Amino acid sequence: MFPYIIDVALTAWISSAIVNRYDYNGIAQYQNRRKKIMLLGLILFIWVLLFAFRGKTGSDTAGYYGGYKTIYNDSLSLDFLLNNYRDKLYQVVVWVLSNTFHGSWFWGSFVVGIIIYFPVLYVIEKKSLDVNFSCLIYLSTLLAFFCFNGLRQGLSISFTFVAYYCALREKKYIRYAIFMAIAYGFHAAALLIIPFHLISLKKLKSISTIILLLVAFVMSFFLINVWGDVIGFFKGDNLVSDYKDVFVNAHGSSIIRALFWAIPSIVAIFNYSRIKKHFSDIDHDIIMGIFGVVFMIYSMQSVSFSQMAPYFTITSVIMFPKIVFSFDSERRKNIKVLTIIVCLGYMLFLLWNGDLGINPYIPMWESGAY
């Protein structure tokens, strides 16, 4: 657990140096752009190091490690990987990295870590109202460490994140299609996220949006059967249909996650009018947040749905600063600090209970994963 706490502490320290001051409206004012980029680059380096040194930390990592090593040790061809395994772009990347670095797990992970974290920091730099706050939310909600287990999902989530905020929300549809194609290449679940992205572009208070959200919530009571039928629509695509049994047969997860992610959505809805005055696009963030809550509720029936939820909950990195800003200037700092404390408590609780399978952190020199 200690390495995760150190990661948060270092990020808090460095990202606070990015902010020069807060103006009378509570908006972060930054140092010159060059210094801002340099400090974000340092944060990227720290995040990537923790990822690269993780060895076999995570219940799924041993499988990824074994596959990566086998590519080099057994001289597997790229054609073999593409013909026998799902998520084609991921196979291309690991084949190139394994052969380039002669099977070195550390250097392969180092490059993959850059691919995961760079898009996230890019969106934060471009779209966040408060870079310091966004970075801490990303870490303390464990979104940053999700990829320690779900490596392919982590890659996919990062590209759907940049696709949503830096393409779709800017109405750059060709760019959106490219980013989503990359995300799909890393994990087929990205294909299922597209309809939700499009729905989130609607107004929160529109009748159609309310109906859709109510239907999504009601579905949670009999979703396991419905989801099998949804996946069935993709029978022609093995990359998607292969996940049907995983989603249908897995056991449920803790209610704590659903309750935690419900809080920002509830606060945003009750404070909607004030937030809307400052941010006309807040509807989209809230709708994505609600979808995240719905999938967390689904995960109580099948834990695999918690692997889908981060595609939505990652929008909290951008939404949280907007929610805090909606309060009067005298209360913003206290609410920000309280939010971070609650998120850190959530992080420590999940790590302590082993919910994500990434604690303890077992570095490469202890696990023998070099």
Query: What is the rounded average pLDDT of the residues 170-178?
Result: 96
pLDDT at 242: 47
Q: What's the pTM?
A: 0.87
User: CA 63, CA 94: separation in Å to the nearest integer?
Assistant: 13
Check whether residue 131 and residue 239 sit in a common domain. Answer: no
| Residue 349 located in a structural domain | no
- 3 state DSSP class of 280: coil
Convert the pLDDT of each residue in 301-310 to its tens digit.
Answer: 666 677 788 9
Domain match, 1 and 48 both: yes
Rounded to 5°, angle at Cα 160 from 171 and 214: 85
Flag whether pLDDT at 208 surpasses 90. no
- 271 belongs to a structural domain: yes
Q: Give dist(CA 212, CA 82) in Å, integer.
A: 38
In degrees rounded to 5, what are phi and psi of residue 77? -85, 155
Mean pLDDT value of segment 164-187: 96
In this structure, the answer to whether residues 138 and 77 fall within a common structural domain is: yes
Note whether 254 and 320 are same-domain residues: yes
What confidence score (pLDDT) does residue 67 get?
93
174 in a structural domain: yes
Give the tens place of pLDDT for each residue, 15-38. Answer: 888 875 555 555 556 657 788 889
Residue with tokens 């392969």: 108
Backbone angles phi, psi at 28, to 5 degrees: -65, 135
Answer whether residue 369 is part of any domain.
yes
Residue 213's pLDDT band (boundaries 50, 70, 90)? low
Q: Specify whether 81 is located in the same domain as 29.
A: yes
Residues 107 and 251 in one domain: no
Domain identity same for 176 and 302: no
Average confidence (pLDDT) over 142-153: 91
Q: How far apart are CA 254 and CA 303, in angstroms?
A: 8
In a domain, 352, yes or no: no
Q: One-letter amino acid identity for 85? A: Y
CA 60 – CA 118 distance, rounded (Å): 23
d(CA 88, CA 240): 12
Which has more pLDDT, 1 or 318? 318
Residue 247's pLDDT is 42
> How would you class 214 by CB atoms within 10 Å of its CB: exposed for 0-12, middle for 13-18, buried for 19 or more?
exposed
Identify the domain containing residue 263 by its residue range: 195-326
Do residues 78 and 154 both lie within one domain? yes
**Same domain for 296 and 176:** no
Are 58 and 129 found together in one domain? yes
How far, in Å, CA of 151 to CA of 111, rounded? Answer: 13
**What are the residues whose beta carbons fall under 8 Å from the beta carbon of 111, sequence distance 6 or more?**
97
Residue 70 included in any domain: yes
Please write the tens of the pLDDT for every residue from 215-258. 666 665 555 555 555 545 444 444 444 444 444 444 445 678 88
- Residue pair 292/271 in contact (Cβ under 8 Å)? The answer is no
Closest CA to 317 of 67, 186, 146: 146
Mean pLDDT score, 364-370:
78
In a domain, 334, yes or no: no
Helices and strands (H, E) in the chain, number of each type: 21, 2
pLDDT in tens, 66-92: 999 999 999 999 999 999 988 899 999
Clarify whether residues 162 and 257 are in a common domain: no
> For residues 297 and 72, which has the higher predicted lDDT (pLDDT)?
72
**Among residues of the chain, what percentage have pLDDT more than 70?**
81
> Based on the structure, what is the number of domains in the chain?
2
Once rounded to an integer, what is the mean pLDDT over residues 207-215? 65
Cβ neighbours for 288, distance < 8 A, ≥ 6 positions apart: 164, 196, 200, 312, 315, 319
**Residue 22 is inside which H or E element, if any?**
strand 19-22
Looking at per-residue pLDDT, the higher value among 140 and 327 belongs to 140
Q: Are residues 172 and 297 in the same domain?
A: no
Does some domain include residue 27?
A: yes
